[in-house]
A = this chain, B = another copy of it.
Amino acid sequence: GASPGLMASSAPSSSAAEMDPNTANLRQPATTGDAWYGVAHGCTRKLGMKICGKFQPTSYQSVGSLNVPKPKAPLSMLLLLSAIKSCRLLMFTYEIAPVFVLMEQLTLKKMREIIGWPNGDGDGLFSPGGAISNMYSVMVARYKYFPEVKTKGMSAAPRLVLFTSEHSHYSIKKAGAVLGFGKENVILLKTDERGRVIPADLEAKVTDAKQKGYVPLFVNATAGTTVYGAFDPINDIADICEKYNLWLHVDGAWGGGLLMSRKHRHKLSGIERANSVTWNPHKMMGVPLQCSAILVREKGILQGCNSMCAGYLFQPDKQYDVNYDTGDKAIQCGRHVDIFKFWLMWKAKGTIGFEQHIDRCLEISEYLYNKIKNREGYEMVFEGQPQHSNVCFWYIPPSLRGMPDGDERREKLHRVAPKIKAMMMECGTTMVGYQPQGDKVNFFRMVVSNHAVTKSDIDFLIDEIERLGHDL
């Protein structure tokens, strides 16, 4: 695979040119003067918005905290920067944000290609975070099977049930509560010791629900769980969804970024069989929050599900193709423009740059795992190398090391991570998260998503844990 590195150069490395069956959809980084610039430029010209005239020298410096690269196509870039200033980062119709609408459509298509949907066909939106993207997936599934709910409400449908693992993100359960299914109709699936759904448990629970007269509707498979970083076996789950005619959603909010890596994307094998996918570039890919995509395989269904056809916004008698008025697909009205920073970052780093970013983060996590797996005073929460960059471990202070397992040790160990974290915050040196999980007492969860983290940062973290925790 590609060698890790810091900010990617725009030229692909030689190893990047090797073909790999995992990555038929991975494209080489764009070169100077590519189609996207052309589209953006052509579009603003065609509209005759004269945004050129609004360009001021200062606007180039004022694009927030992005590292703006030396533009390859200065005129287009300046047009874009001017466009940002002039539209106050708002989008719902094409006329209010033509360039951003096109950027969004092209980028979503590229993401769908990377997922593996034929020709990148389908639909999608950027939404205000993974929880909302997951909520969209449940809404769309409901509309697909019970479209009358939109008009008549949940009472028009039988008792519908959703399935997701006990390690999945709480937003699936929250969507169940918000959308009127009810929390208790979100059925939690058992996982193996590494946090991956057990497919047989899904099938058993689907069968059980049907026997009770409920209607199984939707299954969420997580690609990169929050705590363990586990990847559910998508192909096995997809087989069950096909057998029982269920909507398959893949929550790749955290793990979707691995699709960009030829080395790691096999962990999402089967994702092309999903009906919908959540993928947050603002997580593993380092795009500033918020930047979350909901991607849907069936074209037109987001529109059908959510459109209200408000006459004051979406007039049919405009002088352009109103299919570009994407706002009525959303549950929002005006939307924040989340696409531009992502698009710009993609232009700057290239597809290969994202791959290197991700490979680098996983390499650093592997370094941490290898450093502590056999180190005195550490216990891993699960066996074997983590699938994602999540490394979950207990630090055992010397006072607990000889103690036999039992309630006393568990209670004491439960208090170790909170104490060390509190001391870290008081010292102001570093900070690392902890949580319990199931019957496991509080453990640290170190996650790397910043490719600038170095091995010496990891060494420092371990030194700090031992310095602060030694006398507990």
Contact = CB atoms under 8 A, between A and B. Distances in A.
B425 A48 contact: yes
Given A129-B335, A317-B415, A95 B289 contact: no
Nearest to A156: B182
Contact of A154 (B89, B155, B169, B426): B155
A215 interface: no
A345 B181 CA distance: 41
A171 interface: yes
A311 B173 CA distance: 14
A289 B418 contact: no
A181 to B, nearest CB: 5
Nearest to A64: B64
A415 to B, nearest CB: 7
Given A312-B226, A427-B48, A428-B48, A174 B290 contact: no
Interface of A: 47-50, 61-65, 84-85, 88-90, 95, 128-132, 135, 139, 149-156, 159, 169-171, 173-174, 176-185, 226-227, 288-290, 306, 308, 310-313, 315, 317-319, 331-336, 415, 418, 421-422, 425-429, 431, 433-437, 442, 445
Contacts of A129: 332-336
Given A170-B308, A332-B128, A431-B95, A149 B182 contact: yes
Nearest to A172: B308
B151 A180 contact: no
Nearest to A184: B151
Q: Name which of A318, A334, A434 has the most chain B CB atoms within 10 A of its CB.
A: A334
Contacts of A174: 306, 308, 331
Q: How many copies of the chain does the oligomer comprise?
A: 2
A344 to B, nearest CB: 14
A153 B306 contact: no
23 contacts: A48-B426, A48-B428, A50-B428, A88-B289, A128-B335, A129-B335, A130-B334, A131-B331, A152-B182, A153-B159, A154-B154, A155-B155, A170-B308, A170-B310, A171-B333, A174-B308, A177-B308, A289-B334, A290-B335, A315-B436, A319-B418, A319-B425, A336-B336
A414 to B, nearest CB: 8
Contacts of A89: 288-289
Contacts of A150: 177, 182-183
Nearest to A61: B61
Nearest to A185: B153
Q: Across chains A and B, which 6 residue pairs bring their CB atoms closest together, nearest first?
A: A180-B180, A153-B182, A128-B128, A154-B180, A48-B428, A154-B154
A313 to B, nearest CB: 8
